[in-house]
Amino acid sequence: MLKVANIEKSYRKGGLFSKEKQKILNNITFECYNGECLGIIGESGSGKSTIGRLIAGIEKPDRGTILFEGNNVQDRTVRFGNISAVFQDYTSSINPFFTVEEAIVEPLKARKKDQKETRSRIDRLLYQVGLNPSYRKKHPHELSGGEVQRVCIARALSTEPKCILFDEAISSLDVSVQTQILDLLKELKKKHKMSYVFITHDIQAAAYICDRVIIFRNGEIEETVHLENLKDVQSEYAKKLLKFLITF
């Protein structure tokens, strides 16, 4: 469904007028199938967030294409209502002047849907992510981190997308809230048959939800592995990653 082919991306290194470039992504090719949860694991600076931004269409790749159902994601009409994103920093992902209701309505407004229908929809969305409808009039600063992140998920769900991108969406939450949200995502995936691209550095969280994981290193794919075969990873780096994990 989501096809990433031969992506390359580099950023300018040093000052504004510097010509020197640093390659972030090098020849990345992978595919996310329908109804699959694809995990992308890597250490900080490995370029996993960059690939997330490219999929969300926020930035352009230098080379290569990202196709969603055969169309390039560069075109916003392709992404519109089909790909949503949830980012790590929940404090900055909702306009602080918006109430929860306004935040969720925003993507729906862009579609110019019937007002009455959207109203009942918000209640349903809030209920889906486990929030009380009384939260509608609250502002983001009145909510805890886990609650704001749920609002972000509700907003991502509001357009009924086929694919949701999570960029470290649960990393800064408490473990108990993490499990709640992961359970919620599992349930939603079953109900709506969506695909997830789940970017994280937490292997245990990825193991909890993903069907397949890509291990990223220095802008290249080190290994792609089905979760059942995680035990038998081939590359040295993946082995080291698993060995260094501190489990409870």
Partner 1 sequence: MNILEVEHLKLWDANRNKVIIHNSSFHLKQGSCLAIVGESGSGKSVTCRAIMRLNKAWIRQSGDILFKGENLNHLTEKEMRKRRGKNLCLILQNGMRAFDPSCVVGVHLKETLAEHFGWSKSETEQRMKKAMESVMLKDPLEIMNKYPHQLSGGMLQRVMIALAIVLEPDIIIADEPTTALDTISQYEVVEQFTKLRERWGCSMIFISHDLGVVKKVADDVLVMKDGVIVERGNIHAVFSEAKHEYTNYLVSSRLALSSRFKKIMGEEM
Q: Give the binding site for partner 1 (CB under 8 A).
A: 42-45, 144-145, 172-179, 182, 201-205, 207-208, 227-228, 230-231, 240-242, 244-248
CB of 192 vs partner 1, minimal distance in Å? 22
Helices (H), 37-131: 48-55, 76-79, 90-93, 100-109, 115-128
Shortest distance, CB of residue 73 to partner 1, whole angstroms? 27
CB 230 → partner 1: shortest distance, Å?
A: 5
Identify the sign of the CA torsion 224, 66, 168, 178.
negative
Provide CB contacts within 8 A for 135, sequence distance 6+: 100, 126, 143, 147, 151
CB of 246 to partner 1, least distance (A): 5
> Which C-beta is closer to partner 1: that of 160 or that of 174?
174
Farthest CA pair distance, the chain: 56
Name which of 14 and 160 has its Cβ closer to partner 1: 14
E-strand ranges in 51-90 read 63-68, 71-72, 83-86
- The distance of closest approach from Cβ of residue 99 to partner 1 in the complex, given in angstroms and rounded to an integer, is 22
| Nearer of residues 13 and 119 to partner 1, judged by Cβ | 13
Rounded to the nearest angstrom, the gap between the alpha carbon of residue 158 and the centroid of all alpha carbons in its chain is: 15
Q: What's phi and psi for 131, nearest 5 deg?
A: -115, 150
Considering the complex, state which of residue 129 and residue 173 has its C-beta at the smaller distance from partner 1. 173
Taking the least distance from each CB to partner 1, the nearer of 191 and 231 is 231
